[in-house]
Amino acid sequence: MQVSKMEEIFKNLPIEVKDIRLLPGGDTNEAYKILGQDERYFLLVHPGGSEGFFDGEARGLELLNENNIAAPRLIDKGLVGDKAYLLITYLEEGPVGSMGDLARLMKDLHEIESPNGKFGFDFPYESDHIKFTNAYVDTWAELFIGQRMDGLTQNLIKKGIWQNRDKLLYHNIRRIMERVLGDRESHPHLLHGDFYSGNYMFLEDRSPAIFDPNPLYGDYEFDIGISMAFGPLSRDFYNEYFKTIKRDKNLPLRLEFYRLYFYMIHLNKFGKVYKNLVDESIYKILKSS
């Protein structure tokens, strides 16, 4: 009997597998909870993945753990046939803890500096719907606008989701983003890259942890803006995060740039159901500038 690709993955994991449970949800990867000899594990499997599909997330988890940021530990990754997989430790969820603690965790993350002083990352951002090179550049605008926003725009036009009118509107806000980001002195620090309410949790001791990173070295406001896209986190989180950070008049506008980016990611992935959110964000930027 031919062994299935999933059976081959399970067989070759560097752990003793005692029980496997398929977890519900997930629009990109299949997810499994695995009971090992002395520990529980979380396995992500991406059908049709490339050998390097999980490289960025894997390196991000390594960096988080190296810097004592609470996150799952990387155990293994690889490719079996056309299925890329990532094996990490399983974090047990506990009672809701302090959002101020979560803010302090994110500030600790954002203090990790880029080793080469540039914006980017060693591995690309790779998903099943778009890929960004994360090539190292000298300025945040080059990475955010030149790689992320321009790349998304090209994809949306290619898919027919955006028409000429949308393209013209983007060119208008692109000039605004260039001007506003050009006026800000940004420094490259480690970012989660996908920091919204679904990618943090509180552990059994009520301490916060983060997971599912799409890491890059960039401006910390990117993570904060994304966190506000689909319902902001609590006031306690933002008050604690910005307690020692001076807020300038263009902060709300810059945060809207990153909300727009996150809406465009969803528009590119799921289609026109997110078109209204993108349009509303674009008009906010035009009006605020």
List, by residue number, the catalytic residues: 194
CA gap 64, 191 in Å, rounded? 10
Strand order in the sheet with 40-47: 19-23, 30-35, 40-47, 83-89, 74-80
Sign, CA torsion 202/215/198/30: negative
Nearest to 264 by CA among 127, 53, 272, 142: 272
CA gap 152, 144 in Å, rounded? 11
CA gap 194, 42 in Å, rounded? 19
> In the numeric block, which tokens belong to residue 116?
């080469």
Q: Which residue has the tokens 């499997």?
A: 45
Q: Using the 8-state DSSP alphabet, how is residue 155 labeled?
A: H
CA gap 29, 48 in Å, rounded? 10
